[in-house]
Amino acid sequence: MSDLPCQSIPVVEEFQRPPLPAEAFRRLAALPHVLFLDSALQNEKLGRYSFVAADPFTFLRVPADGSDGLSRLNDELRKWQAPTIEGLPPFQGGAAGLLSYDLGRSLERVPLPKFDEFGLPALAIGFYDIVLAYDHLQQRAWLISQGFPEASAQSRQIRAAARLEQFRKLLNSPVAEPKAKRTEVIRRDQLAPSYSVPGPAGLASNFSAEKYLATVQRAIDYIYAGDVFQVNLAQRLLFPAACDSIPLYLRLRERNPATFSAYFDLGDFQIASASPERFVQVRDQHVEARPIKGTRPRTSRAEADLFAGDELQESEKDRAENVMIVDLLRNDLSRVCQPDSVRVTQLCGLESYQFVQHLVSVVEGKLAAGMSPLDLVRAAFPGGSITGAPKVRAMEIISELEPTARGPYCGCLGYFGFDGSLDLNILIRTITAGRGWWQFPVGGGIVAQSSPQREYDETWTKAAGLLKAIVD
């Protein structure tokens, strides 16, 4: 490695021959709360950077009991600030981890779900003083060590150098297998009622097919009654854990690569995500959101694939679904952005992934003076693409119609940088491992034109890549 000219804190070194991101993740996975923000799918617009971090100096965990987790996060984050180092990838250390969907109950008065067997936290965030940052476009990688939680410049310098040396040795060493997670296993009879569904032996859902169709129709009835314009509905799939979560994630990123993939170890649970969707990003006060609405399955036949993409872009139902969420996001961003800065820079663009094609829009803005990335999250969380519109009434209907807590699903995973940057995905195409189970809800937006059978079929289209990963 060679030194990168920079100020004394943080300490920064560039790898000349860095391990591949997945290999670096494996070499650090034995440390507490390993985090892998993984651009497993890279293209010209997205997926330029990946980050691996572990062993945070502070770990914040807030239960899903309505507590104001964002205020606690803000109080802690304000203690640790560092300027951006130009020329390096954007995450240079900071608070990173999970904002679960159920954090929304601290922002809006929404009823509790009927079942919450797993009891996952509303917020689980590590404060990472050192990060391995990759720039895939330049094919370069750096270790960035901030020296926190030491306060004085000299103490920070000493800690930053020591931590960098510690991580350098780990990254140049053979893989140390993580210790097996010892957590209480939830018996099947302790779970919410479940139903066998097609797929690997042992796969179950919290809906029967008939019940899901009836529930979609109930959502459509709410739309015609004027309660909402759109509401997201999901079925939760469950599968008995067949291996450790690390090989599970490595299979997932190989078989269903995505631009906003991620792995995060909460301790008693782990999140393995192949998300294609960004919730919000902030860089230099510039805000970007990338809502997804509209889905079609991929096919191995190129001509049929193109036809399906054209049909999706021309679909009145899917475009209406997307535009509704764009309008909701414009309203959310306008609460914290400069007047007239909020604009739609892409409407219903077609993006293709391993198993699906999506309509993706882009909404941008600039934070108003005095507004922070956490203010943005408070204004926009949870993402409208996974609730519906109007948001609060849609969340109330979700609580009524879905029998089980969503947990991480439809929440966010990503980082709040020490320099004021922010990047969060939306946790769709995501497996939560823990207590002897892998759970992975799949759903979609219901609008007036929805067909219950087609909505049910779409959930299985979205599950395809996850099902490929759960069996070796």
CA 29 to each of CA 127, 270, 409: distance values in angstroms, whole numbers, following the listed order: 16, 12, 23
Q: Single out the residue of 276, 360, 365 nearest to residue 323, CA to CA.
A: 360
Q: Single out the residue of 94, 90, 104 nearest to residue 74, CA to CA.
A: 94
How far is residue 394's CA from residue 413's CA, in Å, rounded to a whole number?
A: 22
Instruction: Tell me if residue 86 is catalytic.
Output: no
DSSP 42-70: --SSS--EEEEE---SEEEEE-SSS--HH
pLDDT value of position 121: 98
How many Cβ atoms from other residues are within 10 Å of residue 330's Cβ?
17
pLDDT value of position 2: 42
Q: Which residue is catalytic, options 293, 366, 391, 462?
A: 293
Q: Single out the residue of 442, 418, 445 nearest to residue 430, CA to CA.
A: 442
pTM over 0.85: yes
pLDDT value of position 77: 96
How many Cβ atoms from other residues are within 10 Å of residue 3's Cβ?
9
Q: Which residue is catalytic, options 117, 169, 181, 277?
A: 277
Query: What pLDDT tens digit does each residue of the chain (472 aa) get?
Result: 444 444 478 999 999 889 999 999 999 999 999 999 999 888 767 899 999 999 999 999 999 999 999 999 999 999 999 999 999 999 999 999 999 999 999 999 999 999 999 999 999 999 999 999 999 999 999 999 999 999 999 999 999 999 999 999 999 998 877 777 677 899 999 999 999 999 999 999 999 999 999 999 999 999 999 999 999 999 999 999 999 999 999 999 999 999 999 999 999 999 999 999 999 999 999 999 999 999 988 877 887 788 878 899 999 999 999 999 999 999 999 999 998 999 999 999 998 888 889 999 999 999 999 999 999 999 999 999 999 999 999 999 999 999 999 999 999 999 999 999 999 999 999 999 999 999 999 999 999 999 999 999 999 999 999 999 998 7
pLDDT value of position 4: 42
pLDDT value of position 26: 96
Question: Domains in the chain, ordered, with CATH?
Answer: 11-285+367-471 (3.60.120.10)
pLDDT value of position 303: 79
Instruction: Tell me if residue 391 is catalytic.
Output: no
How far is residue 443's CA from residue 262's CA, in Å, rounded to a whole number?
A: 20
